Structures are given as structure tokens and as C-alpha cells.
Chain A
Amino acid sequence: MVEADPPFVGLNNYIKILWTPEFWEEVKLTIIWTGSNLGLIIPIGVLIALLLNQEYKGKSFFRTWTLLPWMFPIVVTTLMWRWMLYPVSGVINHILKQIGMITAPIEFLSDSSIAMFTVVLVNTWRWTPFVAIVILGTLQTIPKDIYEAATVDGAGIFQKFFYITLPHILPSVIINSFILMLWLFNMFPPIWLLTQGGPSRATMTLAISIYKKGFQIFRMSEAATLSIILLIILSITTWLYFKFVGGKWGRLND
């Protein structure tokens, strides 16, 4: 599996990879994957957190059980969606057909123009509850009397949101977006279990590429090279974060 006595090649592996168009295609897909996931998960998560933070019956029930989908094995939730998204026997296509939105079944996972979109939506389904619960935790630390004082002073719903709620949760939103971004960048199971990087490389992110190179075509040195490149990208991102958003970083540590 591993080359018995591999020769020392200096930086040749890096040069070789950086010159292939496939690599840049994978970088582009990884950025699309991470960006669109973040763009969906964070706003929807914050919205759900705001909703859960209201007063309603069954409050404590909802505030606890929202996290449950996130605790399910990723294999279970992902395979479940794969089954529901089947073109002919899948329930999603069936429902869409019944309500007259489509005439021919949509190939959610085998049409290369929408496969990435589908995988992102399935992953959003899984991660939004996590973000919602964490942001809800922050929302609950805002003292109630601030809102009461604002009401007395005649502030409306939107004013309260932009001048009280948002400034309070912003640091938490930023740090959680950052951590989630790092996780998304090298997230492996959801894409692998839905499309294995296909159809025709439409969902081939760097993480999938590393796994494929290492454990399917057994080119360990290429996979290791890609890992190091990924590590460098993530390190630079982290460094930039330290440098420009650094003040909030301290809040995470202590």
C-alpha cells in the first residue's frame, strides 16, 4: 500500500499538484461548499434561536429537543436523505409531483448541475440545530430589564433587535461561524455518503479528494501533500482571524 522505500523528491509533489487544473477545481468546490453552507446555516440558525427564545407553550421541550437531529449518527441522517431523494421511489420527488411542481423526477444526486446544491441543503438540515442551540444559549444571557427599559423608551421590535440583541450575540455568532467554517472546510462524511465526490467530480472537495487519493487509488504521497496544503490554507485563515477579529478570540479562551 505504501511505497516500500520512497525516494526523497523535495517539493516535487507540491509543484506537481499546484500545476494540475483538478486541484484548483477542488479548491473552488471546497470554497463553494463552505461558503454556501455557512451562508445558510448561520442566518437560519440565528433565526431559529430567536424564535426559540420567545415565550410560548412547550418552551423547554423545544429548547432541548431541537438539538436531537444533530446527535443522530451522520450515517443515519445522510442515508435517510439519500433514500428520500431517489428519483423514482423517493418521497421528495413524489411529493413535488403530487403538488404539481414538477412533471419529470429530479435527479437530485446524479445531476451534476444540482448535486452540490442538494448536498449543501442536506448538510444545512443537520447543522442548523447545533448553531441554533449555541446562539440560544447566548440569547438567554441578555438581561431582560434592558428590553423592558427599551420598551419604556418606546423602542420597536426592529430597534430592539438591532440595538440590543444583535450587538449581544454578534461575538458568539462570529466565533461560531469561524469554528464551523474550519469544520466545513474539511468535512468528509456527508459528501462521501451522498455522492462520493461525483457525479463527474461535481462535489469533489479537497477532503473527498484526500480520501480518494489515499484509500481508493492508494497514492499516499499525493494525499499527504494535499493534507499539508489544506493545513496551510486553514492556518492562514486562522492567522487572519487572529489578526483582524482577534479581540473576540479571547472570549473563547477564558
Chain B
Amino acid sequence: MINRDAKKRKFILKFGIYLGLGLISLIYVFPIYWVFVTSISGFKELMFEPPKVFPNAPTIEHYIYVISSSKYLIFLKNSLFVSILVSILTLIMSVCFAYALSNVRFYGKYFLSKTILMVYFFPGILLIIPLFQMAQKVGLYDNLISVVIVNILMTLPFSIWTLKLYFDDIPKEISEAAKIDGCSRFDILYRIFLPLVLPGLATVAIYSFVVSWNDYLFPAVLISDIDHQTLAVGIAGWTSSYSINWGQIAAASIMTIIPIVIFFASVGKLFIKGLTGGAVKG
């Protein structure tokens, strides 16, 4: 009797789990599926006919238009420039900074690590006025370099903090032994520490790439020439024209998220591990 009850309860639990998972999947997959459907529906079908689960006459006209006649490729080039530069520079700077915080004694360390967290907490809109004026004063307004610099400012706190947690995990004995054997500080970092924290490095690189790839606010404010614009702001700009062609926006959106999906498929697990690692230790 007890056995049967337990079985029944287990069945209900399993059923509930799958029902919940199904529901969540639906809520998250449907909008993405809908963008895809929109991107392959003709303009007339989109504007004048009721929405359909699949278009009657699928077309790739929007993709062709976006690639050949819009500024999509220019935006793409600018976005790649910003994101690649941001992730490389963030990586270099956060490795140095985190190593110092974790392994070097210096005056003001506590204050410095607290200040970094403040930047992490108060991002974006608060800094937009001074950053805009500074960019104008130093002649970096309407220059992608300013977007790169500001994005590094935004990605550094999380990156430093993540890497510091990884560095803290490495036993002190290892670096002491290396020091006795005559390793310089740089050698210790390069030969011993970095190979041990590869998941952390991957997390930082992905995080800073994605953050700068998705950033909307800073390019919107710091860039005025449309030929210098990044993908996020460029695509958003298409909605301010007189008649919005959602098919083109959807096509551009699909092409913008594909790199992220591929990225995620290859290293997503590593990234989740790094992201939750902070929560685990923190």
C-alpha cells in the first residue's frame, strides 16, 4: 500500500517537472521562433494578413535586402571590432589586476577592491553625462575607441572579481615553491597560474564579448555617424523610420543572435560553470 502511494507520488512529481519544463520552454522558445517566422514572411503577409504559424510563401527577401542594401555589414564590422578588442583588453587587464589583488600585498588594496565593486553596482545611465562630455573634450566622440574604453570599464569589475576567486583557489605553496626555484613574478603568472584558471579566462572572454556585443546605451550616446554605429543601435534605428519593416528587423536579429548561439553551443557549459562558480564561492 505504502509502496503504491510512493509510486503514485513519484509519478505526479515527474509529471509536474516535465509540465513545468515544457511550459518554460514554450514561453522562451516561442518568441524566438516568431522572429524566425517573421524574417521569412513577405512584407504584405506581415502587415495585412492575420499572423500564421508558418508563412504561406516563405521567402528570404529580407535576408537578401539586409545583407546587400542595408548597412548591416558595416554595423557588423563595427560590432566585431568593439567586441573583439574589448574581450582581449579586458582579459589582459583583469588578469593583471586579479593577480595583484590575490597575490601581492600593497597599500590600499582593500579600498581598491571595494571601489571596483561599486562600479559593478552602479553602471550605465549614471555615468552617461560625464562620459559623453569627456569623449567630446578628448576628441573621441563619434569614435569606436570611446565605446571600447567605456565597455572595458563596464566589464572589468565582474572579470576581476571572477578571476580573483579563481586565483584565490590556487594553493599558496605552489607559487612559493616556484619562487624558491627562481621563478619571476611574471613567470609564476604566465606558467603556473594562467594554465590553472583556463575556465575562468574563458568566462571572462565570453562575458566581455557578449556584454559589448549587446550594449545599447553607450554606442547610442557616443556615436553619431551611422557608418560608425554598432549592430544593436543600428538595428534599433530602423524602427524610427516612417514605415517599419519588421521582416528586415527580424532577419537582422536572427543574423545577430546566430554568433551567440554558436558561441554558446561550444563553450556555454564552461561559461555557466564560471558564472555560478562565483555564486558558489561567494
Q: Which residues of A contact B (CB under 8 A)?
A: 2, 48, 51, 54, 56, 60, 62-69, 71-77, 79-84, 89-91, 94, 125, 129, 133-138, 140-141, 172, 175-176, 179, 182-183, 186-189, 193, 207, 210-211, 214-215, 220, 223-224, 227, 230-231, 234, 238, 251-254
A-B contact pairs, 27 of them (CB 8 A): A2-B133, A48-B24, A51-B21, A51-B24, A62-B21, A64-B268, A64-B272, A65-B264, A71-B214, A72-B257, A73-B216, A73-B256, A76-B257, A82-B239, A89-B47, A133-B276, A134-B275, A134-B279, A137-B276, A141-B280, A172-B279, A188-B125, A215-B221, A220-B129, A223-B129, A227-B125, A253-B117
Evaluate contact between B18 and A56: CB separation under 8 angstroms.
yes
Evaluate contact between A186 and B124: CB separation under 8 angstroms.
yes
Known: A72-B214, A211-B125, A214-B132. A79 touches B253 (CB 8 A): yes
* List of 8 A-B pairs having minimum Cβ-Cβ separation, nearest first: A137-B276, A73-B214, A76-B253, A75-B232, A207-B125, A91-B51, A137-B279, A189-B216
Evaluate contact between B214 and A231: CB separation under 8 angstroms.
no
Binary flags per residue of B256-268, CB closer than 8 Å to A gives 1, else 0: 1100110010001
Complex Cα–Cα for A125 and B239 (A): 22
B133 CB contacts on chain A under 8 angstroms: 2, 220
Complex Cα–Cα for A66 and B114 (A): 31
Complex Cα–Cα for A206 and B14 (A): 45
Closest to A77 in B: B31
From B126, B246, B280, contact of A186 by CB (8 A): B126
**How near does chain B come to A140, taking the closest CB pair, in angstroms?**
8
Q: Is the CB of B76 closer than 8 A to any CB of chain A? A: no
A67 CB contacts on chain B under 8 angstroms: 264, 268, 271-272, 275
B246 CB contacts on chain A under 8 angstroms: 83
From B114, B128, B136, B257, contact of A211 by CB (8 A): B128
Known: A133-B276, A189-B216. A68 touches B261 (CB 8 A): yes
**How near does chain A come to B168, taking the closest CB pair, in angstroms?**
7
B269 CB contacts on chain A under 8 angstroms: 60, 64
Pair count A-B, CB < 8 A: 184
Evaluate contact between A80 and B34: CB separation under 8 angstroms.
yes
A76 CB contacts on chain B under 8 angstroms: 35, 235, 253, 256-257
**Residues 205-264 of B at the A interface (beta carbon under 8 Å):** 210, 213-214, 216-217, 221, 231-233, 235-236, 239, 246, 249-250, 253, 256-257, 260-261, 264
Interface residues on B, range: 35 or more
**How near does chain A come to B119, taking the closest CB pair, in angstroms?**
12
Closest to B79 in A: A73
Closest to A230 in B: B126
Evaluate contact between A80 and B122: CB separation under 8 angstroms.
no
From B46, B130, B233, contact of A89 by CB (8 A): B46
Evaluate contact between A138 and B279: CB separation under 8 angstroms.
yes
Closest to A221 in B: B129
From B129, B136, B236, B279, contact of A210 by CB (8 A): B129
Evaluate contact between B17 and A73: CB separation under 8 angstroms.
no
A183 CB contacts on chain B under 8 angstroms: 121, 123
A186 CB contacts on chain B under 8 angstroms: 122-126
Chain A contact surface mostly:
helix
A73 CB contacts on chain B under 8 angstroms: 213-214, 216, 231-232, 256-257, 260
A134 CB contacts on chain B under 8 angstroms: 275-276, 279
Q: Is the CB of B277 closer than 8 A to any CB of chain A? A: yes
**How near does chain A come to B162, taking the closest CB pair, in angstroms?**
12
Complex Cα–Cα for A66 and B14 (A): 19
A77 CB contacts on chain B under 8 angstroms: 31
Closest to B231 in A: A73
Complex Cα–Cα for A224 and B210 (A): 29
B117 CB contacts on chain A under 8 angstroms: 252-253
Q: Is the CB of B182 closer than 8 A to any CB of chain A? A: no
Q: Is the CB of B175 closer than 8 A to any CB of chain A? A: no
A48 CB contacts on chain B under 8 angstroms: 20, 24
Evaluate contact between B20 and A51: CB separation under 8 angstroms.
yes
B138 CB contacts on chain A under 8 angstroms: none
A227 CB contacts on chain B under 8 angstroms: 125-126, 128-129
**Residues 104-131 of B at the A interface (beta carbon under 8 Å):** 113-114, 117, 120-126, 128-130
A2 CB contacts on chain B under 8 angstroms: 133, 136
**How near does chain A come to B120, taking the closest CB pair, in angstroms?**
8
**How near does chain B come to A120, taking the closest CB pair, in angstroms?**
15
**How near does chain B come to A207, taking the closest CB pair, in angstroms?**
4
Complex Cα–Cα for A237 and B42 (A): 51
B217 CB contacts on chain A under 8 angstroms: 188-189, 211
Q: Is the CB of B38 closer than 8 A to any CB of chain A? A: yes
